[in-house]
């Protein structure tokens, strides 16, 4: 497959895009329309890449790519000084790991405050894990707060979420699929700025849509394979 990395002559690309925009039969897609046509009219070269690369266009692939980073010898080594990270990152204070915290096989980013347990997980900047909380086999994005006694297992939690005390995300052994997000392997998703109420249990393969609040939950149990809130198309 294609890595999706292209180098174009600016004039050629501009002309191709304008021509494609005027074609009513085109899906206006690089892979389906623009590149195939350029191959017939211009010189196009491909570079065979044999290094580590993953298409993270699915939930499963996105989760697996993060878990790959936690290996003792990861296929993409973030500590490799010969291949440094050039992206400018936000300045935050160092990670604060407090008394009683347990951290193992995880990547914890600047600004995080850890009072609970984090295992086999990747935490973005500013995540807070409260006392007695457990985050395991999960990806937690920027500025999410996981309160005292909460559990997050095999889940992807978006930015600025609030998981209230003793809530459980990724609960139970029921792996009923969720057709809405094509979720079958047990990964549960929580959308940006969502609030999961205290004590609520969210099963496997669930979707909690962005911006949901406590009133959006019908009870204390969200069955596996179901969705809370409205998920926008795409």
pLDDT 10s digits, 148-168: 999 999 999 999 999 999 999
CB distance 206 to 185 below 8 Å: no
Count the neighbouring beta carbons within 10 Å of the beta carbon of residue 145: 19
Specify burial of residue 3 (Cβ count, 10 A radius: 0-12, 13-18, 19+).
exposed
2 pLDDT above the threshold of 80: no
Tell me the per-residue pLDDT of 32-48, one tens digit each, with 9 for 90 and over. Answer: 999 999 999 999 999 99
Average pLDDT, the chain: 94
Q: What angle do CA 208, 223, 143 make, to 5 degrees?
A: 30
109 pLDDT above the threshold of 80: yes
Q: Return the pLDDT at 180.
A: 86
Measured distance CA(206)–CA(212) in Å, rounded? 14
With b for 16 or more beta-carbon neighbours within 10 A and e for fewer, the 89-102 pattern comes to: eeeeeebebeeebe
In the chain, where does the domain assigned CATH 2.160.10.10 lie?
96-228
181 pLDDT above the threshold of 80: no
Q: Return the pLDDT at 83.
A: 85
Q: Return the pLDDT at 187.
A: 98
Say if domain 96-228 classifies as CATH 3.40.1050.10. Answer: no
């Amino acid at each position: 497959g294609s890595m999706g990395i292209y180098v174009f002559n600016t004039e050629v690309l501009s002309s191709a895009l304008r021509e494609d925009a005027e074609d009513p039969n085109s899906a206006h897609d690089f892979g389906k329309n623009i590149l195939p046509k350029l191959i017939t009219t211009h010189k196009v070269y491909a570079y065979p890449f044999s290094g580590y690369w993953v298409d993270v266009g699915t939930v499963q692939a996105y989760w697996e790519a993060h878990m790959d980073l936690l290996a003792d010898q990861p296929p993409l080594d973030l500590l490799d000084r010969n291949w440094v990270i050039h992206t400018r990152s936000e300045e935050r204070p160092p990670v604060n790991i407090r008394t009683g915290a347990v951290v193992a096989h995880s990547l914890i980013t600047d600004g995080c405050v850890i009072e609970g347990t984090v295992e086999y997980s990747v935490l973005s900047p500013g995540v807070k894990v409260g006392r007695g909380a457990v985050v395991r086999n999960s990806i937690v994005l920027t500025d999410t707060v996981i309160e005292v006694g909460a559990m997050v297992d095999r889940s992807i939690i978006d930015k600025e979420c609030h998981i209230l005390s003793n809530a459980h995300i990724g609960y139970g052994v029921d792996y009923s699929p969720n057709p809405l997000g094509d979720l079958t392997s047990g990964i549960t998703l929580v959308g940006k700025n969502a609030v999961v109420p205290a004590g609520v249990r969210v099963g496997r393969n669930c979707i909690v849509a962005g911006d949901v609040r406590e009133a959006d939950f019908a009870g204390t149990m969200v069955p596996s394979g179901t969705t809370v809130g409205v998920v926008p198309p795409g």
